[in-house]
A and B are shown apart, each in its own frame.
Chain A
Amino acid sequence: MDILLNEEEEMLKKSAREFLEAECPPSLARDMEKDPLGYPPELWKKLADLGWLGLALPEKYDGQGLPLTHLGIILGEVGRAIVPVPLHSTMTAALTIAKHGTEAQRQETLPGVSRGATILTWAFTERDPRYVPESIQMQAVARGDSYILNGSKMFVDNFNVAQKCLVPCRTAPPSSGKSGISLFLVDTSSAGISHTPLVTMAKDKQSKVNFSNVRIPRASLVGKLNEGWTIVEHMLDLGTALLCAQMEGCARKDTEMATDYAKHRIAFGRPIGAFQSVQHMCADMLMWVDGTQLLTYEALWRIDQGLPASIEVSQAKAFGNEKCEAAVRYCQMIHGGIGFIMEFNQNLWFRRVSAWTMRLGTTYDHRGRVARALLDRPGPVRLGESQYESAPSR
């Protein structure tokens, strides 16, 4: 038990921070909000050259096989510098393929990801915004050597630039259960796919994707037919934990910017940061992002160790959703009217953190999952111990 970063992790964090401070000024994030791709391909290539894209992928597929916690540290820095790259969606899908995909699927996607040639994403939500099995109603019907996909998915990240997308569908008759769900790796250029960009608070690239009689090969199935829910749940947990890391890094930078502003902004003849009311806001912000970070690291560490982590993931997201939002809200307040003005940078962080709190499970969703783990299984709970005697589900 030593939950501080070790030397290697500190070095990784430091070098990532230095690189991104040099390569990714806030103006880049601002420019990419208006860019049709939404990311700068030359920066993406540099991330590949640095080894970040293959960092947590197996060496067999040109990755480095490093722990997931290292990727979490990188995503924290990416959130901090609000780097406009499709890293989160690509990693969430790539790590899912690495763990659950067929050998052919891995060969076909992962080396390309490591090289920076392949961008990935995943889709889940249709109409019901919860991350529960009944939200999935899109159909995939087997026909000969193919599956035919019909339906639509909302809030798909970076679909405009992704080559492949993981798509969970119903392969058994419509139901609300966990069984009958299958996961497919779909080529985004398949005939019958169209997408409509969404106009989002973070001005990132999310799409509504329509699948109209989309024919994909049988070999697109990830995992077993009708038994995809476990994989989907794992993918969502992974994506949630990584998003928490990104959200925490972003909220922490915002906290530092607000603190810095409070040290220099003079009112009533002194820096506003000399007033205890402002100091205590800043202290709360630091404790909130620290709390989010600690919960997130524990979740990532558990996933990396192959331990059950659904409770820890939900803890991190439930807490982070409320506390990172509260932190960036305080940052806005400390900046006064400036926080409302587009040409100042503060809002870039505020809009992203706020948007991320709404993705991959609300506070209520995640607390619901924690409550089920605590209250709906037999036997007493004990602080500091695993609560997984019977694994909870979404």
Chain B
Amino acid sequence: MNFDWTPEQEALRKEVRDFIRENMTKRLGGEMGEEMEEGADRERSRALRKKIGEKGWLAISWPKEYGGQGGDRMSQYIVEEEFARVGMGVGGGGSGAGAILGAGTEEQKRYFVPKVIAGEMSFCLGFTEPQGGADLAGLQCRAVRDGDFYTINGQKMFTSGAHNATHIYLMARTDPAAERHRGITILLVPMDTPGITVRPLWTVQNDPPAPPGTTYGMGRTNEVFFEDVRVPISCRLGDENMGWFIGAQGLNLDRVGASRYLISVHMDEDIINWAKESDLGGYSVKDDPAVRDKLAELWIEAQVCRLMTMRSMSIVQRDQDFTYEGSAEKVMAPEHGVTASEAISQILGPYAQLLNGSEGAVESGIYAHNLMGAFQSGINHGSVQIMRDQVARRGLGMPRG
């Protein structure tokens, strides 16, 4: 076991940190991340992404021939972590381009992956449907084969980023007669295909908008409707009806890593640093014994989240598969985020209810917005309950109910 970074990795972290300090703000990072909203300065975002790409910091561990750097996973993690602190993703992720790298044709890899890395293409994830998301294998959106085409009909829900994405990474049912895990196909569908309608679902973070850096501060998600959407079979990722299995590793990777870790724990760092600098009318929060005990408890849990993330990254770096470790991390970190945001609300009392822009709001109301958003991390990409099922079954060999 080795818990240290190499001198090269330390130097890389410093270089990235300096670059971010000179070139980025949380606001800009948010615009460039998933939370890209109307009115964002896309030209500026694009130029900055290009600059980051020239540094060789985008998708470091992905193969060079598809726009990555052919580097090591831990270096990528370092870069991801630093950029995640300003809300920007530079890793490439699991579902979408990550899955294409694993299961795509040569043509698909060459077409999609470099453009996704460069920020010219992006995927929204078409998993969840109105009937549910936890039981993903029960999805009903249909794709019917018709010669060299599929015709898609159905609806997806909570499709974050669908209003900005160029493509949807869609899970659709191609064989309703088959056992439910064996009738699903993944299609990579351009969002401008006729028959696709995107409607906004405004979130509790929308009015007022959550400040940059909020844990799940996006003001909008979407529902996406498919009406006789016709796409060529070249849009298919992997074999027909094998989508469940093709998607699994991508989903696993969505559950772990720098972003998932940081959205769950950055508030621990923030509240401690706030408490060290601030008081409330002479009440020194950091000297309150109950608060001190709670802050230490949160910090310690945050370390467990960090180490579980490092464990997942160590497994990925060794090119091994998760048994249950990714699922465990996906319970520990999201639940910590909820615990922390609730604890902070009890530390700040009535101030923690004040939203962005309010008179008297602490740190632009981020703790109030965190409290409204943190549970999201326990819902998406497999709820913590589903993750516990996986830990029990895969990690401990417990029987299905």
Known: A2-B317, A282-B396, A367-B300. A294 touches B307 (CB 8 A): yes
Flag if A318 contacts B331 (CB, 8 Å): no
Query: Among the listed A274, A305, A383, which residue makes an inter-chain contact with B302, where contact means beta carbons less than 8 Å apart?
Result: A383
Taking A1-B2, A3-B314 as contacts, is the C-beta distance between A374 and B293 under 8 angstroms? Answer: no
List A322-374 residues whose CB lies under 8 Å from chain B: 364, 367-368, 370-371, 374
Within residues 36 to 80 of chain A, which ones have a CB less than 8 A from any CB in chain B? 69
Q: How far is the CB of A284 from chain B (nearest CB, A)?
A: 7
- Output the nearest chain A residue to B332 by Cβ-Cβ distance: A287
Which of B5, B303, B392 is the one whose CB lies under 8 Å from A282? B392
Closest beta carbon of chain A to B13's beta carbon, Å: 9
Q: Could you tell me if B392 and A283 are in contact, using CB atoms closer than 8 angstroms?
A: yes
Please, how many angstroms separate the alpha-carbon atoms of A229 and B332 in the complex?
37
Among listed B56-64, B103-111, B116-124, B263-271, interface-contacting one: B263-271
**Would you call A315 and B310 a contact (CB within 8 A)?**
no
In angstroms, Cα B313 to Cα A295, docked, is 16
Nearest CB to that of A301 among chain B residues? Answer: B3
Closest chain B CB from A136 CB (angstroms) = 24
Interface residues on B, range: 35 or more
Q: Are the C-beta atoms of A279 and B393 separated by less than 8 Å?
A: yes
Bound form: Cα–Cα A297–B109 in Å: 40
- Which of A279, A294, A381 lies in contact with B389, CB distance below 8 A? A279
**A-B pair number, CB within 8 angstroms:** 163
Whether the Cβ atoms of A295 and B3 lie closer than 8 Å is no
- Chain A residue at minimum C-beta to C-beta distance from B268: A383
CA distance A295 to B262 in the complex (A): 18
29 interchain pairs, CB-CB under 8 A: A2-B314, A2-B317, A3-B310, A4-B314, A4-B315, A6-B1, A274-B400, A280-B392, A283-B331, A283-B391, A283-B395, A286-B324, A286-B391, A286-B396, A287-B328, A290-B308, A290-B328, A294-B307, A294-B308, A295-B307, A301-B2, A319-B301, A368-B293, A370-B300, A371-B292, A374-B299, A381-B276, A383-B266, A384-B306
Contact B398 A380 (CB under 8 A): no
CB distance from A331 to the nearest CB of B (A): 13
Min C-beta distance of B61 to chain A, whole Å: 13
Interface SS majority for chain B: helix
For B293, what are the chain A residues with a Cβ–Cβ distance below 8 Å? 364, 367-368, 371
Partner of B385, one of A3, A280, A295: A280
Question: Top 9 nearest A-B pairs by Cβ distance?
Answer: A279-B392, A294-B307, A367-B296, A283-B391, A370-B296, A291-B304, A371-B292, A283-B388, A371-B296
CA A370 to CA B397, docked complex, whole Å: 36
Q: In the complex, how many residues of chain A place their beta carbon closer than 8 angstroms to a beta carbon of chain B?
A: 50
Contact of A271 among B301, B308, B395, B399 (CB under 8 A): B399
Interface membership of A262, Cβ < 8 A = yes
Query: Hey, which chain A residues are within 8 Å of B301, CB to CB?
Result: 319
B21 within 8 Å of A (CB atoms)? no
Task: A287 to B269: give the CA distance in the assembly, Å.
Answer: 23
- List A contacts of B74 (CB < 8 A): 1-2
Residues of B within 8 A of A305 (CB): 4
Interface residues of B in 355-401 (CB under 8 A from A): 385, 388-389, 391-393, 395-401
A318 and B400 contact, CB distance less than 8 A: no
Name the CB-closest residue of A to B390. A283
State how many angstroms separate the Cβ of A242 from the closest Cβ of chain B.
16
**Roughly how many angstroms separate A286 CA and B306 CA in the complex, as a whole number?**
17
Instruction: Say if the beta carbon of A152 comes within 8 Å of chain B.
Output: no
Report B269-304 residues with CB < 8 Å from chain A CB. Answer: 269, 272-273, 275-276, 286, 292-293, 295-297, 299-304
Residues on the B chain within 8 Å of A374, using CB: 272, 295-296, 299
Q: Does B81 contact A (CB under 8 A)?
A: yes
**Would A375 and B269 be within 8 Å (CB), given that A3-B307, A279-B389 are in contact?**
no
Instruction: Judge whether A21 is part of the interface by a CB distance below 8 angstroms.
Output: no
Q: A201 at interface (Cβ–Cβ under 8 A)?
A: no
Q: Which residues of B are found within 8 Å of A4, using beta-carbon distances?
A: 1, 311, 314-315, 318
Contact between chains at A1 and B395 (CB < 8 Å)? no
User: Using Cβ atoms and an 8 Å threshold, which residues of chain B touch A380?
Assistant: 269, 273, 276
Residue contact A318 to B296, C-beta cutoff 8 Å: yes
Q: Is B9 interfacial (CB 8 A cutoff)?
A: yes
Q: Does A9 contact B (CB under 8 A)?
A: yes
Complex Cα distance A259/B332, Å?
Answer: 20
Beta-carbon nearest neighbor of B293 in chain A: A367
CA distance A273 to B307 in the complex (A): 28
Contact residues in A for B269 (Cβ distance below 8 Å): 380-383
B391 near A287 with CB under 8 A, answer: yes
Residues of A within 8 A of B331 (CB): 283, 287
User: How far in angstroms is the closest Cβ of chain A from B257?
Assistant: 14
Question: Which residues of chain B in 311-326 are interfacial with respect to chain A, using CB atoms and an 8 Å cutoff?
Answer: 311, 313-315, 317-318, 324
> A291 to B308, Cβ gap below 8 A?
yes
- Whether the pair B310, A282 counts as a contact (CB closer than 8 A) is no
8 further A-B pairs in the complex, CB-CB below 8 A; given A3-B307, A287-B391, A315-B300: A1-B4, A262-B398, A274-B399, A279-B392, A279-B398, A294-B310, A383-B306, A384-B81
Given contacts A1-B4, A3-B310, A279-B393, contact A319 B286 (CB under 8 A): no
